[in-house]
Structure 1
């Protein structure tokens, strides 16, 4: 106790602690603050949905102190990826900003193939193949006409347009716009009558010309689907 009360001892102890901080801790602190790393930033404004190229990336040297976690510094993890959101010039790249697809693999492929999605209504249970139609199935869309285009009375006829054959089904919905495949599974599991697996609307993958013909056909007649073959569509996120 007497030793601690000695002013000379206390002064010496303070000097030793100050020296330790000055020569050991502070240099390490400033070294960490002055350390730099090379990171990737956007070289230009990049809209959402853009496939990233090397020209859109720029390497810059920045201080490592305070750098956000998760910043992507490897070009291999960015080139060929798709911007999920808009990236402003100078922004860092994070995993949540890029992905393999903008929406999913199927939608991206549809866009790249210059195809379209068109939804048509199903006028009856029979016209929609009852509850048997699934996404991925290939169908022909037949058009039932009760009268001719000029409005004159004529015998009803069924038209099979060449461009409306072998169309792929993207999705099938019931009257509540619920996926009928999910409703069918729920019905099988619960045996509940509340699930409705009957198709009321069908979305098809088509070309622009096929889309035009489908829309025209729906407003001039009634559509009836003819099953061709079973297929499978996988939505990869």
Structure 2
């Protein structure tokens, strides 16, 4: 008799639980699945670097269930910004794909100003301003020329330093050591590691922001003489 009662009790309990699931939980579950939300989709292919305008996207209503939390649904938050990557037609828009710059502010400025990046070698510690040079600095690049010449039929050499107008007030983009590491980052790490001798802050190459004509002159100068950097001023980005 006790077994029968227990079975009846268990059966009633199962019925109650089934009813609760059917009438309480399932409607909420399917209701959440059927909920919709307005999101933005690319109305056409958007190449990287494109400035976002309203014609490039469309508002569509889609099911809310399963959508990523960071999907963009506010058109005012992206108009005027830049596509950082290629966005295919029909793609959802995410913050990772949209930004204020294609790569970063400085590189975008270089491209916008029709400038170039050119890297030159630093022949000595002194020529690279020891370890004082950093990105954002403005420099003059002087060229040391050591030329052979005829002096009363006797061969000799003539040395001179040339400062070309085209190579004045050049902005430094980056400075690297022999391992192509940023010397600025190396110096910061040295300070954190109590000036570890394993780190090398001495510049071996300098990358400059130049016009095409300045790039040609720099390359020509590097292959005909030795370059020496003369500090002019620290850039505005460094608080000067």
Whether 1:219 and 2:223 are equivalent positions in the alignment is yes
Whether 1:229 and 2:233 are equivalent positions in the alignment is yes
Whether 1:196 and 2:200 are equivalent positions in the alignment is yes
SS of 2:87's equivalent in the other structure is coil
Deviates more, 1:129-138 or 1:26-35: 26-35
Whether 1:107 and 2:110 are equivalent positions in the alignment is no
Unaligned runs of 5+ in 1: none
- In the alignment, is the contact (CA less than 8 A) between 1:42 and 1:90 conserved in 2? yes
- The two structures have a TM-score, normalised by structure 1, of 0.81
Unaligned runs of 5+ in 2: 149-154
SS of 2:102's equivalent in the other structure is coil
Task: Decide whether aligned partners of structure 1 residues 142 and 36 sit closer, same or farther in structure 2, where only a CA change above 3 A counts.
Answer: same
How do residues 127-206 of structure 1 correspond to structure 2 at under 5 angstroms?
127-147=127-147, 155-188=158-191, 189-206=193-210
SS of 2:186's equivalent in the other structure is helix
- Count residues with an aligned counterpart: 229
Q: CA deviation at 1:84?
A: 2.8
Q: CA deviation at 1:26?
A: 5.2
Q: CA deviation at 1:17?
A: 7.6
- In the alignment, is the contact (CA less than 8 A) between 1:145 and 1:156 conserved in 2? yes
**In 1, Cα distance between the equivalents of 2:83 and 2:32?**
32
- The two structures have a TM-score, normalised by structure 2, of 0.80
Over the residues paired in the alignment, what is the CA RMSD in angstroms?
A: 3.1
- In the alignment, is the contact (CA less than 8 A) between 1:135 and 1:233 conserved in 2? no
How do residues 110-129 of structure 1 correspond to structure 2 at under 5 angstroms?
110-129=110-129
Task: Decide whether aligned partners of structure 1 residues 18 and 127 sit closer, same or farther in structure 2, where only a CA change above 3 A counts.
Answer: closer
Q: CA deviation at 1:196?
A: 1.9
Q: CA deviation at 1:205?
A: 0.9
